[in-house]
Every structure is written in structure tokens, then in C-alpha cells.
A and B are shown apart, each in its own frame.
Chain A
């Protein structure tokens, strides 16, 4: 594993930042999280990283600094609540692209409490095809001029 170190202004940082809603109560939020991680694996950490969304309203300086330094900020929300977009906009950042999986790749939101009593498990609600579609859409948003 690589060595750590706190970031401060002036130190090289990720070219672009994605903020995923990372909502774990539904298939759409989890798909957002998985797709964002796949994007980082594919493009590499120099090109893009996933920002810590809860730290933004709390004003955590390294996260705000990295977001400020990013060429593009992309939000990836699972559902029409658009928690990620609203959180980033409320912090005063300009969003290059807002992606909503329920809108942009036609995902049907399934809330995971519906599994109670069935016990089908998380994997039953996640489609690798949706993860792939979301990943491709995010990559397109990052790479387009």
C-alpha cells in the first residue's frame, strides 16, 4: 500500500472530482457508489477521485481545497432527491455535469427495505449492466471537452 500524507494547497491533486450520493438504502445509490469506484479504477487517481461528500457541508478544508482545484466537479446521484448535487451547489461549487441514474440511464429505484422478510440479499438488487452504463456516462462527462 502507498504511503499517506495530508494534502494542503499547492500539492498536486486529482484533475477531476466526482461526488457520489453513495446512498445505501436503495439500488440506485449503491450503483452510483460502485460506478464511481469503477471510474477511478479505469481512469486512475491522477485523472479523477471520489470526494467525501459529507465533509463538504462540514467544511473540511482538504476536501474543499481539492474540489476548488479540480478542473471538473461531477455529481452522481442515484435518485431524484439529488442529494449530491444539492450539497455541492449549497457549498458554492460549480458542477460541470450532474448525473442522475434514475433519469439518465433509466434505472428504477428500489428501496432495500422491500427485501425485509424475503432475505434475497443486496446482490439481488444490483445490476452489473447498470453499473457499466453509469460508469460509461461518468467517464464521458469527465473526458468531454
Chain B
């Protein structure tokens, strides 16, 4: 997992990681797509992106279900072809 904020801040090592990696996989929590926008603004390619609110209801709570986490992980592994 790369530090999204470091990419937004223009940190050279993090930008290089985004450049050199085989796949940049972006996981957004909601439709604002902040993580994707950060990469787009930095001019880095996005090989796969997901907005997990399409699969889970966005609610202001910390009642996070392990089954939901597993479901999203499986979707990412499958769709991003990891």
C-alpha cells in the first residue's frame, strides 16, 4: 500500500514507486474518488480502480464487518488480476 498523501504532496520516492510498479491499483472508499484523483493529478497511470461504495453502503460508522472486508479483497484480487 502506498501513501496516497505522499503522492499528493509530490514526494519523489512515492512518485517513483507509482512509476515503476507493474500495476497501480486504486481503492476508493466513495464516489469522490479521491485516491484516483490524486494519482491522475500526479500524472500516474491507473491500471485498476474500484469504488467500494458500489458494493457497500457508505455510512459514518466504525462497525466494519470482516465479511465485507473479505468480499472487497476478493473483488480486487479477481478484477485487478493479482
Contact = CB atoms under 8 A, between A and B. Distances in A.
Contacts of B38: 54, 57-58
A22 B35 CA distance: 12
Interface residues of A, number: 28
A25 interface: yes
B5 A45 contact: no
A23 interface: yes
A22 B62 contact: no
Interface stretch (A79-87, A94-102, A127-135): A79-87
A60 B34 contact: yes
B29 A52 contact: yes
Interface of B: 1-6, 8-9, 11, 14, 17, 29, 32, 34-35, 37-38, 41, 57-63, 65
Interface of A: 1-4, 21-25, 29-30, 37, 40-41, 45, 49, 52-55, 57-58, 60, 81, 83-84, 86-87
Given A1-B65, A57-B8, A87-B5, 4 more contacts: A2-B63, A52-B34, A54-B4, A54-B34
